[in-house]
Each structure stands twice: as structure tokens, then as C-alpha cells.
Amino acid sequence: MEGLNLISTFAEFKELKNIDRITMMSVLEDIFRNQLIKMYGTADNFDIIINIDKGDFEIWRNRDVVEVVEDPSTQISLEEVQKVDDSYQIGEQYTEEVKLASFGRRGILNLRQNLSGRITDIEKANLYNKYKDRIGEIVVGEVYQAWRKEVLVMDEDGNELLLPKQEQIPSDFFRKGDTVRAVVSRVEMNNNNPVITLSRTSPVFLERLFEQEVPEIFDGLITIKKIVRIPGERAKVAVESYDERIDPVGACVGVKGSRIHGIVRELRNENIDIINWTSNLQLLIQRALSPAKISSIKINEEEKRVSVFLKPNDVSLAIGKGGSNIKLAGLLIDKEIDVFRDIVEEEDEEDVLLSDFSDEIEGWVLDALKSIGCDTAKSVLALPVSEIVRRADLEEETVIEVQKILKAEFEE
């Protein structure tokens, strides 16, 4: 009965964990030999025969027949052998079967525990290696449990994958049983347990979605040069075609937006700008800040900064909602972009120069605002507080107070 329990343990793990027969035989032989060493001091003179198909095994012990026994683990006396079979002579090898029952209840329990532990370790290693080779690939799973800080996802083989909150698009909301698509971002061993982390915010996820939706990208006719994202809000994708007959932007968008719409839906209506890549930095900046029209550009390579001059009406377009357009454009070109209002002869009659507020706002604050291209009240109000704080190096309370003063001017 104990032998059947041991084999059933093996069969159960083999079926659930899909371990190949060679590995399974090696594990079984190893745990038997370890147990034999504990019992007899050595396992060198034992033959272990494992029949995977039938689900059984045999253990045979080989000892030399001698007159006087010096090593009981490898020798047996002629007198003892002849009690069983009187045909044996000194110098021959005596072989006897070791029954599982001779291991005792504790020994059999140790065998089962060791088998379970070894199989579990192999399964963990297999899972780690499987997903280590899939980093950057999209996987589809089912939400098994949704918690506040993370979502537990089960793959098709029943393996557990984690989708942390910070790797989710802000508007993502999952319930148990939902299907989720994400990219494998990290595979780590934590206390000997593989931890597979998924991501829906990674630029790689967006890149893989384009590969699935746009055959020209999958085939290598169009290359994605760079992707920058504010997950759930906006993304910029720079593409280049190796075939002059193919319009990379048009191919990515598809007829009537057929290709891009599926990606946008998957990303919770994230606004995606597709840009023709160019090695001409000025032209790339113009495309990155579209739909704003740039009057002139000054590039400071040493400080990795770009000064962009635009007409007043184009400033808000260049900055974008919440500063998203200018932030992504800067990430795309890998430089800090400062937007300046181009000086024109005809000023906006409804706008007011910042210098007119010198009696209400301190001079050093006005200078800081002008240094980032904000020389009128409306240009300051067009920027979010966080963007002004970052670019002008001002305190948040100061920026809020300044905008309050400027808003009051137009409310009067």
C-alpha cells in the first residue's frame, strides 16, 4: 500500500507538472539512492530499475560472497547465503531484492516528501526558465483574483502571474474571470519561488500590440524607432519604413483607423501620435510637437536643451493637455524642451504682459517664468502647475498664487 502511495505521488506530479520521463526517472533514482545511503551507508552496490509506463520499480542489492565478512554493506558470508541457496560459492555475487516495506514507514514517508519537494523544485525552475525566455512577449491570462495593490493572473497552464497596480493603466479595472493582455516585464526568484511580473504600462507592450496589428511591422518592412508613453493618456510612436512605397504612418493607422483603433481600445483610449522618424533633429522636433507650428528652434547640445519659439495661439497646442505633448516630445528627442512665445508686432489684445504685474508678483518670480517662455498671463495659465514647478524651479504654492493673481485679471 505504501508503495502504491509513493507511485501515485509520482504519477500525480508527472501529470500536473508535465515533467519529462528522463528527468522523472533521474529524480526517482536519486531519492532512492539517498535513502539507501542513509540505511546501508552506501548505494554503489544497488541496482534501481524504474518502469515509468507501468508505474512501478525494483531495487536489487548486490554483495560479494566471502568466508569472513569485513564490510557488511558490500559483503555477505557464504554461511548466510547457503541458508537461502546452497549453490553459491565464495567469490560469486549474491543479488537480492530490497522490498519497499524494508524501508519502514518513516523511510517511505521521507521518500514521498523528498519526491514532492524535488518535483516542486523542478517545476519552479521550469516555470522560471520558461518565462525568462519570454520577457518582452505578450501573454493572455485570466484574472483569478483582484486586490488593491495587484492582480493575480492565471495563464493557460494554471501558472500564477502578477500584474502590480503600478504596471496597470490608471483606468484599468479588472474582475475575476476577465481576460487580460500584458507583456512579461520581469522574472525573478524570490525565496526560491519564481515571480513573473506583467506590465501594461511598458512601451514594449505598445510595441508588441503594433506588431500584432500591423503586418508590415511584424515582417520588418516598418521599424519602430522609439516609443514614449504616459500610460492611459498619450503616447508617441516614431516609425520608419525601409520601403519607399510604404507610408509607415498610414500603414500603422490603417484604412479609416482600422489598425490603430484596436490598440487604442486595448490601452483604454490612450491617444497615440504616430510620427515619421527622421535623423534631422529640427524636423523631428517639429513632428513631435505637432499640431503646433513652430516659428524657430534653437538647440543647445551641451545642456541637452531645445528652445522652441511659437506663435501665441500655438503655445497651448505644443504643451498639450496637462503638459503631455511637450513632455513626450522631450522624451522622444531625449532633450528638455522650453517653449517660448514668439514676439510679434500684434499682441493679443486680450492677453496681458507679465511685466504689468510687477506690483503684485515679485521680480525674481517673473524672471523665472520668463525664462521658460512665459511672458504673458495667458502663457502662464496655459501650463499646469506641475509643469511650471518642474521647469521654472518654483515652489508649488508660489505658482498657485501667481495663477490666482493672473486669473483675477481676466475675471474682472
136-201, what's its fold?
OB fold (Dihydrolipoamide Acetyltransferase, E2P) (2.40.50)
pLDDT tens sequence across 76-131 = 998 888 888 888 889 889 988 888 888 888 888 888 888 888 888 888 888 999 99
Q: Mean per-residue pLDDT for 66-77?
A: 88
Query: 210-270 architecture in CATH?
Result: 2-Layer Sandwich (3.30)
Q: Mean pLDDT score of the chain, rounded to an integer?
A: 86
The reported pTM is 0.71
Cβ atoms of residues 330 and 336 within 8 Å: yes
55-59, 173-177, 295-299: least confidently modelled range: 55-59
Spell out the residues 6+ positions from residue 124 whose beta carbon is closer than 8 angstroms to its own.
Answer: 192, 193, 194
pLDDT at 39 over 90: no
* Partners of 61 in beta bridges: 46, 96
pLDDT at 11: 56
235-249, 261-275, 349-363: least confidently modelled range: 349-363
Write the Ramachandran bin of 175: left for phi over 0, alpha for psi from -120 to 50, otherwise beta: beta
Q: Mean per-residue pLDDT for 198-208?
A: 96
Cβ atoms of residues 79 and 34 within 8 Å: no
CATH number of 278-340: 3.30.300.20
pLDDT at 311: 83
pLDDT at 4 over 80: no
pLDDT at 5: 52
pLDDT at 192: 86
d(CA 79, CA 63): 14
pLDDT tens sequence across 238-255 = 999 988 889 999 999 998
Cβ atoms of residues 10 and 24 within 8 Å: yes
Which has the higher per-residue pLDDT, 224 or 74?
A: 224
19-28, 277-286, 296-305: least confidently modelled range: 19-28
CB-side neighbour CA atoms (13 Å) of 236: 24
pLDDT at 55: 63
Percent of the chain with pLDDT over 70: 92
Q: Mean per-residue pLDDT for 27-44?
A: 87
How far are the Cα atoms of 18, 27, 100, 131, 371 from residue 48, in angstroms, in the given order? 23, 12, 12, 35, 82
pLDDT at 53: 64
Q: What is the CA radius of gyration of the chain?
A: 36
2-131, what's its fold?
N Utilization Substance Protein A; Chain:P; domain 4 (3.30.1480)
- Assess whether the region 136-201 and the region 278-340 belong to the same CATH fold: no
Domain chopping of the chain, boundaries: 2-131, 136-201, 210-270, 278-340, 347-412
- Among 293, 233, 226, residue whose Cα is nearest residue 267: 233
pLDDT at 373: 73
